[in-house]
Amino acid sequence: MANFLNEKIIMKKTKDRKKLLKTAQEPSVLAKKMHPFYKGKIEVVPKCRIKNLNDFSIWYSPGVAAACTDIYKNPELVYEYTNKWNSVAVVSDGTRVLGLGDIGPQASIPVMEGKALLYKYLGGVDAYPICLGTKDEKEIVRTVKILQPSFGGINLEDIEQPKCFPILNILKQECNIPVWHDDQQGTALVTLAGFINALKIINKKVNKVKIAMIGAGSANVCIAKLLILYGANPANIIMVDANGTLHKKRFDLKPCPEKWSLAVDTNPNNVRGGIKEAMENADAVIALSTPGPGVIKKEWIQKMAKNAIVFACANPIPEIWPWEAKEAGAAVVATGRSDFENQVNNSLGFPGVFRGILDVRASTITDTMCITAAIELASCITGNEIRPSKILPTMDNWEIFPKVAAAIGIKAIKEKVAHKKLNYDKIYSNAKMMIKRSRAITMTMMKKGFIRKCGK
């Protein structure tokens, strides 16, 4: 009888896993059908009224010359007369796209268009894919700098390490508009927000937990930096890259100052080895490394501390399937995917962040501004709502974005990096209006048939 029951349990688990795997593969199947149907995800449409062709004498020649002359006399008017105030360039060289690696600028366009879609629908921000035909660090920096007149902000995306670090650092110093690398600051912000609430579930303090960080790319390096700034003890962190744990004897890391700094500041006991050794007795693992499954093994989770946190955030496939992590004893499991519980994804951060910084015309985005946004995002799930399967709000809860916008906008004003001084209510109401407008436009176009249903 016991053997029969065990067989039934095994059969049910196998059936459930097959169902979960099929669900996990479905977005890829639909993407291959729907991308060629729509031939792109974004387009440019007018935002001004056009009653008849005579209006073009206002919007274009000869009337537009008056607007040009005013801006020439007072360059700040470009923010009042044009859409620069609400425009962001999504810039990539296609060298590290999702988990696909260096697939080039053309193959990266679907991702950058998707980013622009999220910017508009979730943040009311007009974003434009700019995929560059160069991998040269200096050329990328120069290109972004000469693009500045047309945009209110720059979103760097999917640029390989180590060059992503100096590119961001140089542009932040030398540009007069905010420059943000979403794979660094965006991922770090949302990961910190999820981690804040995950710690509440396991009832542990950020300065006490031992954290294994799997992957030392742009995302995890920035996450580590933000975690430490938030209060994590660097002595309790062990990072792992493709060559093993980071420690003071890893002189191969010296050419990359960001990684070398973490090698010096973390892992004081010089633990050697790889993922397995880093995870032993850890309270949490934050993985943004090689797509799985199988990168993280169940038996390694079993050797973590009791009630462990597992963030397996590689895309498109997490380092371990979430159900396997739970079977191994993890108390809180998160991935980067929207089709699983607890999605830790940049899309919860950047729409609200840029809505806020554009509205106050911030000149930069600081680490402390990112922490403020993370705390606000975490607070969008109240104490009695936080549970192992819900550590972050989801994208369909659109009111989180104006809250993040207002929080980061006020922080920018306090840090004296904003050109416009608005109060919280003004930033919040403006963000809410812009986001509602964007969503309403999309819904109306779908209802009227201007956005057709795929297959009809």
Task: Check 84, 115, 225, 297 and give the catalytic one.
Answer: 115
Segment holding 287, helix H or strand E: strand 284-287
426 counts as catalytic: no
200 counts as catalytic: no
Both tokens assigned to 126: 């007009």
Q: Check the CA dihedral 414-418-422-424 and report its sign.
A: negative
Whether the CB-CB separation of 245 and 273 falls below 8 Å is answered with yes
Measured in whole angstroms, how far is the alpha carbon of residue 428 from the centre of its chain? 21
Cα(287)–Cα(275) distance, rounded to whole angstroms?
Answer: 10
Cα(233)–Cα(110) distance, rounded to whole angstroms?
Answer: 39
Segment holding 245, helix H or strand E: strand 244-245
Q: What is the DSSP track for 46-101?
A: --S--SSGGGHHHHSTTTHHHHHHHHHH-GGGHHHHSGGGGEEEEEE-SSSBTTTB
End-to-end C-alpha distance for the chain, whole angstroms: 54
Name the nearest CA neighbour of 237 among 218, 256, 261. 261
Strand partners, 156: 91, 181
Indicate left, alpha or beta for 266 from its phi (over 0: left) and psi (-120 to 50: alpha).
beta
Task: Check 8, 19, 47, 60 and give the catalytic one.
Answer: 60
CA separation, residue 199 to residues 28, 212, 378, 452 (Å)? 33, 15, 11, 44
Residues 6+ apart with CB under 8 A from 446: 453
Angle 357-359-364 from CA coordinates, rounded to 5°:
25
Name the nearest CA neighbour of 440 among 383, 398, 395. 398
Catalytically annotated residues: 60, 115
